[in-house]
Structure 1
Amino acid sequence: MPLYEIGEHGLRRHEAAQFAALGIYERADLQRLLRDDIAVLAPDLLVIAEEFGNWENSRRRIDLLAIDKVGHLVVIELKRTDDGGHMELQALRYAAMIAAMGFEEVVSTYEAHLARTEPDGDTDARSALLAWLDSTEETPVISSDVRIMLVSADFGRELTTTVLWLNRFVGMDVRCIRLIPYAIDGRVLLDIQQVIPLPEAGDYQVRTIQKSATQERHSSDGRDWTRYHIIVDGQASEDLNKRHAVRLMIQRLIERGVPAAAIGAKMTPGRFRRLDGEHHTDDEVQAALAGQYPDVNVQAWFTEHAIVQNGSTWIVRRIWGRATEPTLKTLSDAFPEAKVSFQRATSSV
C-alpha cells in the first residue's frame, strides 16, 4: 500500500518497505519499541511482562503481556511477516494458559518485569496496579476473558477469517493491527492501523461483548458491583463506581460551602485524611502523605484530587467496598442544606 506525499508538482509516491530489508527485527526492535510506547496500539494498556512464559512444560513465550483498566489481560503477539503466519492460533493457546491468573500472580509478574526494565526505579508493582485498575477492591478481580492483539506487517486471509469468526461467534476480543514501514529520505516511518475490527464499528461491538461478559461474571462472583449517581439540585451525574462516587460527593459538598473538617468529622477515621500545610500538585501531596503517614500506601489515595482549605490539605481514600453506601447516606443526611444526594444506578456494571 503506497503512501503519497503532497509536493509542489503533485503527488510523490512512496512504496511500503519490508522490515527485513530495513534490518528491523521482531524482538530487538518492534517488541522493544511497542513495549516502551504501548499506547500506539491502544491507550488503555499497561505492559506487565515481556517474553512471558510462566507455565510448566512449555518453551513458548508471549511477546508482550498487558492489562487494561478493567482487569482484562491482553496477549500481544508480533510478526514482521506479510501474512501473520499462524499467530492467531498461538495467541489462543497463550490466552487459555493465562486465563486463570489472579491478582497476586499479576502483581508478581509485574514486579519481575519492573525489575528487568527499571532496575533503579522505585515503582511498587502492587500500588501501581491498584492505581491503574478501575476497581474498588483491595484485591481486584482479574477477568478470565483474555483480549488478544495481533500485530503484523499484514495478515493472510486464513488468519483474518479466523479472527472475524472468533469475534462474532465466540464473543472474543481479537484485534489485528497492521504495521507498515516506509523508508523516506533516510528516515523510517511507521503507519499503524487497526484493521480488525474496523475502528468505526469495532469499538461498539467490543464494548457490547465485554459488557455482557462482565455482567455475567459479576453476577456470579458474589461481590457488590453497585454504581451510583451523585445528585446536585436534582441533576444526576453519570453512573460512577464506588470510589469515584464518594470522591465526587465530597467534592460537591466542598463546592457547596461545607468545610472539609466538618465532612471529616462525619466519616470513618482513616478514609478522609488531613495533611498539614497546603499542597497543590500531585507530587507535593504524595510527598506530604508519605512524610506524615509513612506506613500508608500512597497509591491508595486520590492525591490528584486533593482539597486545599484553611491551611490544610484533605485527601480521599480510593478503596471503599461495602462502606460506600453508608458513607454516601451519612454525608447526604448530615448536610441537607447543600442539596447533594445520591441514588443507585439502574445497572450495577
Structure 2
Amino acid sequence: MPLYEIDGDRLRRHDNARFAALGIYERDDLQRLLRDDIAVLSPDLLVIAEEFGNWEDSRRRVDLLAVDKTGHLVVIELKRTDGGGHMELQALRYAAMVSAMSFDEVVAAYDDYLSRVRPHDDVDARVDLLAWLDLGDTDEPPIISSDVRIVLVSADFGRELTTAVLWLNRFNGMDVRCVRLIPYLIDGRILLDIQQVIPLPEAADYQIRVGRKVAEQERRGTDKRGWTRYHIVVDGQVLPDENKRRAVRLMLQNLIERGVNASTIGGVLTPGRFRPLVGEHHSEDQVQAALAEQYPGVEVSRWFTEHAIVEDGKTWVIRKMWGRNTEPTLITLRDRFPEAKVSFQRATRESTGEQA
C-alpha cells in the first residue's frame, strides 16, 4: 500500500516496507512499543499484563492483556506478517481463558506486571485499577465483565480472517477489532501507519458508546450500591451527577464555600475519612508530603491531595474511598448543616442520560 508525498508539483511514491526486512520483531519491538504507548490502539486501554499465561499450558500466552474503562478485559494479539495467520482463533481461545477472571485476579496480574515492567514506580495495583475504572474502594470488589474484547494487530489481514471477524462481530457481546500496522522506510526513517480497519472508525465510535451503556447497565444491575451516582443540590440548583467519591468531595466543598468550617465538619465525620494536617500546605506535593509524614503508613493515593482545604493553620484532606458509607455520610452532612442549603439526590436513569 503506497504512501504519497507532495514533492513540489508532483507526487512522490513511497512503497511500504516489511517488518522482517527492517529487522523489526513481534515481541522485542512491536509488542514493547505498543505496550508502552497502548493509546495508539485505543485511548481507553490500560495494559495489565504482558505474555500472560496463567493456565496449565504455559506455552500459550496472551501478547498483551488490557482492561478498558468499562471493566472489559482486552486480549491484544500481534503478528508482523501480511496475512495475520490464524490469530483470530488464537485470540478467541485466550479470551475464553481470561473471561472468568475476577477483579482480585486482575489485580494480581497487574501487580505482577508492574513489578516486572515498572519496578521502580511506587504504584498500588488495586488503587490504580480502581482509579482507572473511576471507582472507590467499596466493600465488595468491582465486577469484571465476562465479555472479553479482542484487538488483532498485524501488518495486514487475509480475507479468511476478516470474514471471520465480521461474522463474529454479529454476535451479542463480541467486539473484535483489526488494526493494521504499515511500515515505511523514508529517507532513513521508519514510519508507521496505524489504521483500524475493522470495524471502520466511524462504526467503532458508535459501538464503543453502546458497549459502555450495556456494561454500565450490567454492573449497576449486579451491584447497585457500587454504581449509584448522586447529584449534589446547592440552594435548589441540581449539579451534574457524580460517582460516590466525587459526590462526597463536592458536598464538602460546597458546605465549606457556604460558610461551614472544616473543623466543624471534622467533628462530624470519622478521622479516617476527613483528616487535619498541621500547618497550611497549598501545593499538592506539600499536602502529600505532610500527609505521609504526619500519618505514617497512610496510602497517600487514597486521598484527594489535590483538593485540600486550608483553614486556620490547618490543612484538611478528604479520603477517596467511601463505599457503603457514601449515602449515610451525605445524609449526615445534609441534616447537620441545613443552614448551608446543600443537599443531594440519587441520580436516575434519565438524569444520567441512560435510556431504557
TM-score by length of 2: 0.89
Q: Any idea what the Cα deviations from partners look like across 1:256-291, whole Å, max 9, x if unmatched? A: 343322332232331111222233333332222221
Query: Unmatched 5+ residue regions in structure 1?
Result: none
Q: Measure, in 1, the Cα distance between the counterparts of 2:65 and 2:261.
A: 46
Letter in 1 for 2:261: P
Query: Unmatched 5+ residue regions in structure 2?
Result: none
CA 307–151 in structure 1, closer or farther in 2 if over 3 Å, else same: farther
Question: Could you tell me how far 1:159 is from its partner in structure 2?
Answer: 2.2
Question: Could you tell me how far 1:58 is from its partner in structure 2?
Answer: 4.6
Aligned to 2:131: 131
Runs of 4+ in 1 over 6 A off after TM superposition: none
3-state secondary structure, aligned to 1:89: helix
Aligned to 1:96: 96
Aligned to 1:149: 151
Aligned to 2:296: 294
Letter in 2 for 1:109: A
Stretch deviating more after TM superposition (131-140 or 170-179): 131-140
- Answer yes or no: is 1:206 the counterpart of 2:208: yes
Paired residue for 2:199, among 187, 197, 207?
A: 197
- Answer yes or no: is 1:325 the counterpart of 2:327: yes
Contact 1:103 1:142 in 2 (8 A): yes
Contact 2:70 2:216 in 1 (8 A): no
Letter in 1 for 2:248: V
Question: Could you tell me how far 1:217 is from its partner in structure 2?
Answer: 4.4
Question: Could you tell me how far 1:322 is from its partner in structure 2?
Answer: 1.6
3-state secondary structure, aligned to 1:33: helix
3-state secondary structure, aligned to 1:323: helix
CA 143–341 in structure 1, closer or farther in 2 if over 3 Å, else same: same
Q: Any idea what the Cα deviations from partners look like across 1:49-80, whole Å, max 9, x if unmatched? A: 11110101352100011122332221111111
Question: Could you tell me how far 1:162 is from its partner in structure 2?
Answer: 2.5
Q: Measure, in 1, the Cα distance between the counterparts of 2:200 and 2:329.
A: 44
Q: Measure, in 2, the Cα distance between the counterparts of 1:321 and 1:256.
A: 26
3-state secondary structure, aligned to 2:17: coil
Q: Measure, in 1, the Cα distance between the counterparts of 2:307 and 2:40.
A: 28
- Identity within the alignment, %: 73
Trace 1:265-344 onto structure 2 (pairs within 5 A): 265-344=267-346
CA 231–169 in structure 1, closer or farther in 2 if over 3 Å, else same: same
Letter in 2 for 1:157: R
Letter in 1 for 2:344: F
Aligned to 1:234: 236
Equivalent pairs counted in the alignment come to: 349
Question: Could you tell me how far 1:44 is from its partner in structure 2?
Answer: 2.4
Contact 1:70 1:135 in 2 (8 A): no
3-state secondary structure, aligned to 2:48: strand
- Answer yes or no: is 1:118 the counterpart of 2:118: yes
Contact 1:271 1:316 in 2 (8 A): yes
3-state secondary structure, aligned to 2:77: strand
Contact 2:147 2:173 in 1 (8 A): no
Question: Could you tell me how far 1:199 is from its partner in structure 2?
Answer: 2.4
Aligned to 2:62: 62
3-state secondary structure, aligned to 1:151: strand
Aligned to 1:181: 183
CA 159–339 in structure 1, closer or farther in 2 if over 3 Å, else same: farther
Q: Measure, in 1, the Cα distance between the counterparts of 2:33 and 2:210.
A: 31
Q: Any idea what the Cα deviations from partners look like across 1:128-156, whole Å, max 9, x if unmatched? A: 33333322325333222222111112222
Contact 2:143 2:219 in 1 (8 A): no
Q: Measure, in 2, the Cα distance between the counterparts of 1:174 and 1:224.
A: 29
Stretch deviating more after TM superposition (182-191 or 308-317): 308-317
Q: Measure, in 1, the Cα distance between the counterparts of 2:16 and 2:26.
A: 17
Please provide the CA RMSD for this pair. 2.3
Aligned to 1:167: 169
Q: Measure, in 2, the Cα distance between the counterparts of 1:338 and 1:131.
A: 31
Question: Could you tell me how far 1:204 is from its partner in structure 2?
Answer: 2.3
Stretch deviating more after TM superposition (145-154 or 168-177): 168-177
Question: Could you tell me how far 1:41 is from its partner in structure 2?
Answer: 1.6
Q: Any idea what the Cα deviations from partners look like across 1:287-331, whole Å, max 9, x if unmatched? A: 222211122222222223323333322222111122111211222
Contact 1:84 1:152 in 2 (8 A): yes
3-state secondary structure, aligned to 1:170: coil
Question: Could you tell me how far 1:165 is from its partner in structure 2?
Answer: 2.9
Letter in 1 for 2:165: V
TM-score by length of 1: 0.91
3-state secondary structure, aligned to 1:64: strand
Q: Any idea what the Cα deviations from partners look like across 1:58-104, whole Å, max 9, x if unmatched? A: 52100011122332221111111222222121111111111111222
CA 161–312 in structure 1, closer or farther in 2 if over 3 Å, else same: farther
Letter in 1 for 2:186: I
Question: Could you tell me how far 1:223 is from its partner in structure 2?
Answer: 4.5
Stretch deviating more after TM superposition (263-272 or 179-188): 263-272
